[in-house]
């Protein structure tokens, strides 16, 4: 195994989202990451636009095709480079003109274009993605779909519903209720599952709307993918089906946003943050915004590359849930590369991770 892939594999294994992933899934992801990094950094691209195009093409092929080996990924990298070069040649052809406005296309440029087109066709055939006579077998397609679903589950285990023991405070009847586990950076957040009352597939607020006539039984059944008979059962057993206890004051009701950020090295950057709950703005006057950047999620806070705390002022914007995070030129003067960040809102007795993801520091075209 190549040293770069070994290093990437070790890095991925430390990330929380890959904690329970199988080694084969980690290896495949490591190979993709290393191949893409080499393509972008060593592809002899002449502009950031070409690098972005190469990355977009790479991601697009991975979504629509399955590449089983590192050799296939390397071939894909060569294909994408030639596709970008072809686009560069076509731009040059469009710019060719004489002083009187007539078109003049050098033979050398046309020859180069044909050679690149030939290489692209050959590489596509080698990868098996351009065979007009290829008919995909239904069983092969099903197996491919199953494999992609398995990989998706491994990489996106962010929420689980589990049944936990529960004793009714009124009648002491022992039963179970459904709890939604939502993944955080280092742990899970336990919420009463909003689609269950105890262990029953029932939403209390929606049942109240049925009783008041706002929703019909048919509408409720369609929304919650159940039957009208079960709606009748819920109405007939009102008061007997134990509802979940309200826990809004203890946990966040908003989903954390996974957002990847990109900043040009040494640029000054300002981000606008808006905090709402149940569609209403949250007054963040006097709150703090914590912004932290680390090389790895598991690094200690003392090892953070950037740690910034910003006090939200008491003004109309803060009352409307709007805050600002400004990063100075010195704070974004990090080495070019990809890091991990999160943004937290912190108040007395309250702490919520608002956003997290990857932070990419990219080089500036002009140094000063």
Contacts of the segment 314-320: beta carbons below 8 A, 24+ positions apart: 314/285, 314/286, 315/285, 318/283, 318/284, 318/285, 318/286, 318/287, 319/281, 319/283, 319/285, 320/281
Query: Could you give the residue ranges of the DSSP H alpha helices within 180-226?
Result: 204-212, 217-223
Residue 247 CA, chain-centre distance (Å), reads 27
Specify the pLDDT at position 249.
32
Give per-residue pLDDT as tens, 96-147: 754 455 556 677 778 888 888 888 888 888 777 765 444 445 556 667 667 6
Specify the pLDDT at position 293.
95
Q: What is the mean pLDDT of residues 163-167?
A: 82
Which pLDDT band holds residue 156 (cuts at 50, 70, 90)? low
List the domain boundaries for the chain.
3-154, 159-236, 257-362
pLDDT of 69 strictly over 90: no
Which pLDDT band holds residue 309 (cuts at 50, 70, 90)? very high
pTM beyond cutoff 0.85: no
Which pLDDT band holds residue 341 (cuts at 50, 70, 90)? very high
pLDDT of 152 strictly over 90: no
Specify the pLDDT at position 130.
62
Q: What is the mean pLDDT of residues 326-346?
A: 92
Specify the pLDDT at position 208.
86
Give per-residue pLDDT as tens, 227-253: 888 888 888 887 676 555 443 333 333
Specify the pLDDT at position 245.
47
pLDDT of 336 strictly over 70: yes
Mean pLDDT value across the chain: 79
Task: Please provide the CATH number assigned to the domain covering 257-362.
Answer: 2.60.40.10
Lowest mean pLDDT among 46-55, 128-137, 237-246, 276-285: 128-137
Q: What is the mean pLDDT of residues 317-333?
A: 92
Residues 6+ apart with CB under 8 A from 251: 189, 190, 191
Give per-residue pLDDT as tens, 72-105: 888 888 888 888 888 888 888 777 754 455 556 6
Q: What is the mean pLDDT of residues 22-35?
A: 80
For the record, the structure tokens of 367 come out as: 């140094």
């Amino acid at each position: 195994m190549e040293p770069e892939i070994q290093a990437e594999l070790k890095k991925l294994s430390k990330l929380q989202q890959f904690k329970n992933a199988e080694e084969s899934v980690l290896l495949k992801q490591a190979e993709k990451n290393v191949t893409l990094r080499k393509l972008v950094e060593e592809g002899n691209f002449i502009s950031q636009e070409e690098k972005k195009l190469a990355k977009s093409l790479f991601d697009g092929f991975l979504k629509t095709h399955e590449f089983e080996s590192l050799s296939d990924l390397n071939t894909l990298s060569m294909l994408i480079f030639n596709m970008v070069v072809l686009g560069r040649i076509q731009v040059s052809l469009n710019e060719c003109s004489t002083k009187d406005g007539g078109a003049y296309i050098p033979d050398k440029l046309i020859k180069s274009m044909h050679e690149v087109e030939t290489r692209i066709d050959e590489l596509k055939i080698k990868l098996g993605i351009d065979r007009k006579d290829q008919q995909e077998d239904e069983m092969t397609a099903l197996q491919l779909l199953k494999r992609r679903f398995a990989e998706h589950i491994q990489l996106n285990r962010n929420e689980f519903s589990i049944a936990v023991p529960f004793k009714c405070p009124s009648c002491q009847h022992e039963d179970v209720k459904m709890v939604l586990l939502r993944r955080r950076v280092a742990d899970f957040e336990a919420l009463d599952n909003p689609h269950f009352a105890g262990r029953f597939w029932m939403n209390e607020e929606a049942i109240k709307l049925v009783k008041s006539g706002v929703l019909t039984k048919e509408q409720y059944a369609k929304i919650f993918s159940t039957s009208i008979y079960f709606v009748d059962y819920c109405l007939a057993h009102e008061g007997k089906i134990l509802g979940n206890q309200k826990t809004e004051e203890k946990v966040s009701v908003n989903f954390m946003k996974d957002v990847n950020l990109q900043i040009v090295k040494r640029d000054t950057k300002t981000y606008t943050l808006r905090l709402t709950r149940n569609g209403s703005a949250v007054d963040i006057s006097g709150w703090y915004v914590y912004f932290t950047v680390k090389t790895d999620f598991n690094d200690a806070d003392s090892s953070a590359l950037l740690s910034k705390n910003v006090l939200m002022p008491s003004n109309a914007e803060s009352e409307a849930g709007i805050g600002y995070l400004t990063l100075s030129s010195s704070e974004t003067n990090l080495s070019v590369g990809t890091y991990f960040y999160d943004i937290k809102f912190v108040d007395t007795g309250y702490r919520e991770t608002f956003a997290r993801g990857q932070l990419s520091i990219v080089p500036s075209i002009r140094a000063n």
